[in-house]
Amino acid sequence: MRGLKLLLVVLLLAGCAQPPPKDDSLYRDLGERAGINRIVEGMLLNIAHDPRIVERFRKIDIQRLRDKLVEQFCVEAGGPCVYTGDTMAESHKGQNVSRSDFNALVEDLIAAMDTQGIPVPVQNRLIARLAPMRGEVIQH
């Protein structure tokens, strides 16, 4: 059921670029910088145990990825951060990321938020910020 709802959110929001959030309520609801750190660490840990996508992360600088993800989630949640990483198109170019890879990563993120006790409506607000990036991340 969760998978179905997630799929619907992803489908509905794919392709709609979003302006930055009006306030920092999502940032606060995610537990600010420390909470976002825990979510990203948890997501990367889940990815490390996810046979569907773990191979893709074997040869990269995981520390850099963690730092850039924290910055990016912070910005997307309306927090006081600056994203200093590459664009989504640049960083995923040539990786042949598929829709199912994308959904697997989002599932690993949701599982990390579950572990952190983030309420589902708050989870959905973060997912809704990331879903529009799908078009840049996956291969066409």
Residues that bind ligand HEM (CB under 6 A): 53, 56-57, 60-61, 64-65, 68-69, 72, 85-86, 91-92, 97, 101-102, 105, 130, 133, 137
Minimum distance from residue 3 beta carbon to ligand HEM (Å): 16
Residues of 103-128 as b/e, b for ≥16 C-beta within 10 angstroms? bbbbbbbbbbbeebebeeebbbbbbb
Minimum distance from residue 11 beta carbon to ligand HEM (Å): 14
Q: Which two tokens stand for residue 56?
A: 């893709």
Minimum distance from residue 101 beta carbon to ligand HEM (Å): 4
Question: Residues near 108 by Cβ (< 8 Å), separated by ≥ 6?
Answer: 43, 46, 47, 50, 53
Minimum distance from residue 71 beta carbon to ligand HEM (Å): 8
Question: How many beta carbons lie within 10 A of that of residue 28, not counting itself?
Answer: 14
Find out whether 127 and 87 touch, Cβ atoms under 8 Å.
no
